[in-house]
Amino acid sequence: MTNSTILIKDSIILNPNDNDCMNNIASVLIKDDIIAEIGNNISEENVDKIIDGTGKILMPGLINTHTHLSMTLFRGLADDLSLDTWLNDYIWPTEAHLNGYYCYIGALLGAVELIKSGTTTFSDMYFYMGDVARAVDESGLRAVLSYGMIDFADEEKRCAEIAENIDLFEKCNNAADGRIKVFFGPHAPYTASKELLDEVKHLASKFNTGIHIHVSETEKEVNDILEQTGKRPFEYLDDIGFLGPNVVAAHAVWLSEEEIDIIMDRDVKISHNPCSNMKLASGISPVANMLNHDICVSIGTDGASSNNNLDLIEEMKTASLLQKVSTLNPKVLPSEETIAMATINGARALGLEDEIGSIEVGKKADLILIDTEDANMKPNSSCISSNVVYAAKGSNVDTTICNGKILMENKKLTTLDENEIYKKARDAIIELKALKEEDE
């Protein structure tokens, strides 16, 4: 670790579900990877690094609970299309030519964007995840990784997919100084057979880990599952005993009241991805209703191929405004509740609430500083969460710290060479497009 102790002085503290006031000023002492002290009179003696937080908002690092980091390479590859067309005609044919190197470069590109916009933890489902883990290690970020398993009821493919995810767990769980956790990642009920889902449930219990899955993203998906099983997706998953507190379901757009009750009863965690759902015209998730049922709803960006960025601050604003306009109620999903979704709810979704998601003594030092001196942050609102959710952008993030290590300071990256990564990413997508065209 470069600095064993870091003191962030005199910042405006924004904690989820805490005093949301511009007068909430304190200093935070970091020792190694842990928040050691919070107060107003912390000694500077023997401190290795002092950061002046005056006028800056200090908050927990943001937690992105659903993305496909390597797909950052596909940004702008196929826009203004339905999910079916987007996947079948553009994404899957391009993915056929992926390899470990391309996924590594795509993950590094995504990591740059995450760090620069204040995300310190992300949950990722994709392919060549060992190479993604290498990018996570180099970047200094925290991640929950799962291999996206698709078998289409093919037994041979199912065995290979399961073996891939087990291999990822055995090689990468608790890697990178404990910053990497591994979940099991069946892609979705329409791409994963009942046999695969049954085995995933068993393995997640055996390895004491979580499950990351897409559920009810589109109306077509719901209708297809209804036709195949006679039940809606969450009803089907509950019927086969798949659902539980360790399941993170991404999207959850098309839900019946009965399914919301199932999600609540089984303590399933939801990752809401508003920008991707809007862009693919998938629909609007009933987030306000789920929150009223005390369901843990967090926020994800999805991949940059369907968003088209990884800015969780933008995602927070979109999430809040989308619920207001869909319910015609301006009081729905206020800024402080939205902050909680992007921090402590994200931590709960990933089973990490005892380690991250809030600024507390003993928790991991995953913190960001937001600059309030930019034009879009003036004049200061008396409500900090309002400033962050409705006014801020990812570009307002000044400093990003993960696991007690500074990944960006004064908007300059410290762990990654962004210009070199940009060059390699440009070369990679040119090569992938050429390979796809050769197939056509």
Three-state secondary structure of 361-426: CCCECCEEEEECCCHHHCCCCCCHHHHHHHHCCHHHEEEEEECCEEEEECCEECCCCHHHHHHHHH
Tell me, what's the pLDDT at 382? 76
Distances (CA, A) of 205 to 102, 161, 183, 235: 32, 18, 11, 21
Tell me what the mean pLDDT of segment 389-406 comes to.
Answer: 98
Read off the tokens for 440: 């056509």
Tell me, what's the pLDDT at 27? 97
Q: Are residues 147 and 177 in the same domain?
A: yes
Read off the tokens for 8: 């962030």
Q: Are residues 110 and 250 in the same domain?
A: yes
Q: Are residues 240 and 121 in the same domain?
A: yes
Return the H-helix or E-strand segment holding 165. Answer: helix 155-172
Tell me what the mean pLDDT of segment 82-97 comes to.
Answer: 89
Domain membership flag for residue 419 = no
The answer, as to whether pTM is greater than 0.95, is: yes
Q: Are residues 336 and 388 in the same domain?
A: no
| Domain containing residue 49: CATH number | 2.30.40.10
CA distance 377 to 369: 13
CA distance 390 to 339: 11
Across the chain, mean pLDDT equals 96
Q: Comparing C-alpha atoms, which of 193, 292, 210 is closest to residue 244?
A: 210
Q: Are residues 38 and 135 in the same domain?
A: no
94 confidence band (pLDDT: 50, 70, 90): very high
Domain membership flag for residue 418 = no
Q: Are residues 238 and 91 in the same domain?
A: yes
CA distance 239 to 369: 45
Is a pLDDT exceeding 90 seen at residue 308?
yes
276, burial (CB in 10 Å: exposed 0-12, middle 13-18, buried 19+): buried
Q: Are residues 136 and 192 in the same domain?
A: yes
Domain membership flag for residue 358 = no
Give the range of the structural domain holding residue 159, as residue numbers without chain letter.
Answer: 62-349
1 confidence band (pLDDT: 50, 70, 90): very low
Tell me, what's the pLDDT at 329? 97
Tell me what the mean pLDDT of segment 219-248 comes to.
Answer: 97
Domain membership flag for residue 399 = yes
Q: Are residues 116 and 176 in the same domain?
A: yes
Q: Comparing C-alpha atoms, which of 154, 253, 146, 250 is closest to residue 200?
A: 146
**Could you tell me if residue 287 is left (phi over 0), alpha (psi between -120 and 50 degrees) or otherwise beta?**
alpha
3 confidence band (pLDDT: 50, 70, 90): low
Tell me, what's the pLDDT at 23? 76
Domain membership flag for residue 433 = no
Q: Are residues 38 and 68 in the same domain?
A: no
Give first-to-last CA distance, the chain, whole Å. 49
Angle between helices 100-116 and 418-439 in degrees, nearest 10: 140
Half-sphere exposure of 118 (CA within 13 A, CB side): 30
Tell me what the mean pLDDT of segment 153-161 comes to.
Answer: 96
Q: Are residues 190 and 153 in the same domain?
A: yes
Is a pLDDT exceeding 70 seen at residue 127?
yes
CA-CA-CA-CA dihedral for 337, 343, 345, 346, to nearest 10 = 140
Our count of domains for the chain comes to 2
129 confidence band (pLDDT: 50, 70, 90): very high
Domain membership flag for residue 422 = no
Single out the residue in 349, 374, 404 at which a domain terminates: 349
| Domain containing residue 148: CATH number | 3.20.20.140
Is a pLDDT exceeding 70 seen at residue 2?
no
Is a pLDDT exceeding 80 seen at residue 381?
no
Q: What are the phi and psi torsion angles at 209 (to 5°)?
A: -135, -175
439 confidence band (pLDDT: 50, 70, 90): confident
Tell me, what's the pLDDT at 321? 98
18 confidence band (pLDDT: 50, 70, 90): confident
Q: Are residues 50 and 100 in the same domain?
A: no
pLDDT in tens, 195-206: 999 999 999 999
Q: Are residues 68 and 166 in the same domain?
A: yes
Q: What are the phi and psi torsion angles at 395 (to 5°)?
A: -70, -10
Report yes or no: 151 and 192 within 8 Å, Cβ to Cβ: yes
Tell me, what's the pLDDT at 106? 98
Domain membership flag for residue 436 = no
Looking at per-residue pLDDT, the higher value among 88 and 242 belongs to 242
Looking at per-residue pLDDT, the higher value among 396 and 19 belongs to 396
Domain membership flag for residue 128 = yes
Single out the residue in 296, 323, 349 at which a domain terminates: 349
440 confidence band (pLDDT: 50, 70, 90): confident
Return the H-helix or E-strand segment holding 164. Answer: helix 155-172
